[in-house]
Amino acid sequence: MQAFGKFATEHGLEYLIEHYLYFNEPDKKITADDLKILLKKKSRNVAGTIFLYNPVMAPKGYNTDSLLTEQGYGFDGKYTELQFEKLMDIFQSRIKGYEGKLIEIKYLFNYNRPGIEPTMVLEAFNEDVEKLFSHQSTSFSRELNYHDVKNIRISGKFVFFAWGHKFDQTHSNIINYAKSIYEQSGKIGKIPAFIYSNSLGRKESEKEVWFFHPVASGKLKTKITGAIAKAFCSNPPKPTAYEE
């Protein structure tokens, strides 16, 4: 599997504004130029979308230990191949049957930074999303960090929600923002899938938009990855409870 992305920066803040996974056919790799050709026919080549919380990614040859600007990255507006990391390893080992296809990765927030929870970043996000429907200035870029929910474009037939299940209830605007994206995906005809716990149940998980992130620790680690494999046994994937 390969990953490609497009980075942008504004006012010293860095964003991953596009992100695609390519599931390689045997002995075949693609380049960023090949990706652009595939994206000219999205309906044929993009199978679906995975929705995560925020990116922690770096181009090949760079890392996430410091700002890409400090490492000399040029932000040329072009697609670049990304470093392989834990999340990609999970998707590669657990998602099968998409050889030769792309899956788009979208995020609630495109701000490319590790360890944003719990920090003042989330406080800023919570204040920002309340301003998105007004002409007020936001702390983070409207265009680069957030979605225009009513006009959101989601590639492929399905959308697999995996942005996590630990929303801070004091961040009610973030929760409402996530709910609006989930609801809008249904309005535009996308088939939703996600991982949930039997103790909470599918309906309550949808109500609270609590969808488990692929990277877990402790006892949940193998349970969540196993549930992802089970969810993607069908095409499109389906909502799946992890085995408690």
**pTM score:** 0.96
Q: Using an 8 Å Cβ cutoff, are 33 and 144 in contact?
A: no
Q: Which amino acid is at 187?
A: K
Give the strand pairing for 46-52 and 102-107: parallel
Amino acid at 180: S
Q: How far apart are CA 17 and CA 10, in angstroms?
A: 12
For residues 198 and 212, what is the distance between their CA atoms, to the nearest angstrom?
A: 12
Q: How many domains does the chain have?
A: 1
pLDDT, mean of each 10-residue run, the chain (244 residues):
97 97 92 97 96 97 96 96 93 95 98 88 95 92 96 95 92 96 96 94 95 92 95 96 88
Q: What is the DSSP letter of 150?
A: G
Arithmetic mean of pLDDT over the chain? 95
Percent pLDDT > 70 in the chain is 100
SS3 (DSSP) at 179: helix
Q: Sheet holding 46-52: strands in order across? A: 80-81, 2-10, 13-22, 102-107, 46-52, 158-161, 191-197, 240-242
- C-beta neighbour count of 177 within 10 angstroms: 23
**Domain residues for 230?**
2-242
Interstrand relation of 2-10 and 80-81 (parallel, antiparallel or unpaired): antiparallel
Whole-angstrom Cα distance, residue 13 to residue 4?
20
Q: What is the pLDDT of residues 38-61, one digit of tens each?
A: 999 999 999 999 999 999 999 999
Cβ pair 106, 50 in contact under 8 A:
yes
Closest to 54 in 3D by CA, of 163, 193, 132 = 163
Structure tokens at 97: 């049957």
d(CA 228, CA 238): 10
Amino acid in the structure at residue 22: Y
pLDDT in tens, 11-22: 999 999 999 999
C-alpha 3/C-alpha 19 separation (Å) is 7
Cβ contacts of 26 within 8 Å, gap of 6 or more? 99
